[in-house]
Amino acid sequence: MFNTFGRFFTVTTWGESHGPAIGATVDGCPPGVPISEAAIQPWLDRRRPGQSKYTTQRREPDAVEILSGVFGGQTTGHTIQLMIRNRDQRSRDYSGIAEKFRPGHADITYWQKYGIRDHRGGGRSSARETAARVAAGGLARAVLGELIPGIQIRGALVQMGPHGIDRSRWDWATAEENPLRCPDAAAAERWADYLDGLRKSGNSCGAMIEVVARHVPAGLGAPVYARLDTDLATACMSINAVKGVEIGTGMAAASLTGVENADEIRLGHDGRPEFCSNHAGGILGGISTGQNIVVRFAVKPTSSILAPRKTITKSGELTEIVTKGRHDPCVGIRAVPVGEAMVACVILDHVLMHRGQVGENRGTIG
């Protein structure tokens, strides 16, 4: 009801930023899929904090333990429990702000609703929860690898603060090499300077992430509610700090005419339908077209900043707040593997639902 994501392949996350552990309880996974902690760990390593000066200096090994649902190196078809212990919970960092609400942060609403102020950190609203998503995503990727060989799900940062990229320079390898996950090497340098400046002034910035899924078969999704685009939007909007999500041309589709927006159809060399453009982002009427699936989401700037902001205390007094702690100047960077993980979970969920309801695609062309 509250902490579960997915329809058939479901992921229930648990754990707080400063408790003993966090994790993901995964249900609906097919049996017989080879999996191990070693296969999931690299995805967690991609998200792990403390890897560059641009991310929080909290040191967490983020080692995943599989507690159930795997036997003899294969999934059993039963609940898979993925646990990650918290190691470096330096609670004292938060002591200065325990009675104040951080502007732009969940502090105040969390307090109003639950009557709880977890002075050790954000409690359940901490972005640390996303490590559990990445673990579940690693599992989803393994299952997808069995069911749809060749599928590829990758993400990159396409905007940092006001700075975008030149899409003609897009290079996936570049995105892996630089700590900012920027696919445009020239932009990456500018971004680094910008971020250094922000960091030194105790400020932070927002970012835009793009996740692309290649070789997703046509036919996944449904026309209403269980739409593939809806579920991708749900997945991305459920990530902390995300304020917007779009598919294909996205918000810019508002500006287009029908003539411009129509992705014309032709036949490819293999005799299969092919689209001359991809404004649709790989999804028409909620169902995948076989083109690349393209999802973008915007992450707001970290609200825990050193620059002083006006706020109030729990007892209702006006004050100023300065948040020390160890925070990412741009949480968008670490949101890349999180977005990838969510897209992987959504696609797997739809692969299983499709198999359950339809079996195999029923319509042929040509």
- Minimum CB separation of residue 94 from its own copies in Å reads 13
**Sequence-ordered list of residues with C-beta below 8 angstroms from that of 21, at least 6 positions apart, any chain:** 15, 83, 84, 85, 86
Asked if 78 touches its own copies (CB under 8 A), the answer is yes
Asked if 230 touches its own copies (CB under 8 A), the answer is yes
Query: What separation in angstroms does the CA of 265 have from each of 48, 63, 262?
Result: 42, 47, 9
Asked if 104 touches its own copies (CB under 8 A), the answer is yes
24/40 Cα distance (integer angstroms): 13
Asked if 98 touches its own copies (CB under 8 A), the answer is no
Binding test (CB under 8 A) with its own copies, winner from 41, 51, 203, 292: 203
160/194 Cα distance (integer angstroms): 9
- Minimum CB separation of residue 212 from its own copies in Å reads 16
Question: Where in 158-197 is the site for its own copies (CB under 8 A)?
Answer: 159-162
Asked if 363 touches its own copies (CB under 8 A), the answer is yes
Binding test (CB under 8 A) with its own copies, winner from 33, 156, 305, 345: 305
Write b or e for each residue in 153-187: b if 16 or more Cβ atoms lie within 10 A of its Cβ, otherwise e: bbbbbbbbbeeebeeeebeeebbeebebbbbbeeb
Amino acid at position 245, single letter: V
Smaller CB separation from its own copies, 219 or 339: 219
Asked if 55 touches its own copies (CB under 8 A), the answer is no
Asked if 342 touches its own copies (CB under 8 A), the answer is no
Asked if 223 touches its own copies (CB under 8 A), the answer is yes
- Minimum CB separation of residue 327 from its own copies in Å reads 9
Total number of residues that touch its own copies (CB under 8 A):
159
Question: Where in 235-264 is the site for its own copies (CB under 8 A)?
Answer: 237-238, 240, 243-264
**Sequence-ordered list of residues with C-beta below 8 angstroms from that of 299, at least 6 positions apart, any chain:** 206, 207, 208, 209, 239, 241, 242, 243, 331, 332, 335
Q: Which of 108, 116, 101, 130 is nearest to 299 (CA)?
A: 130
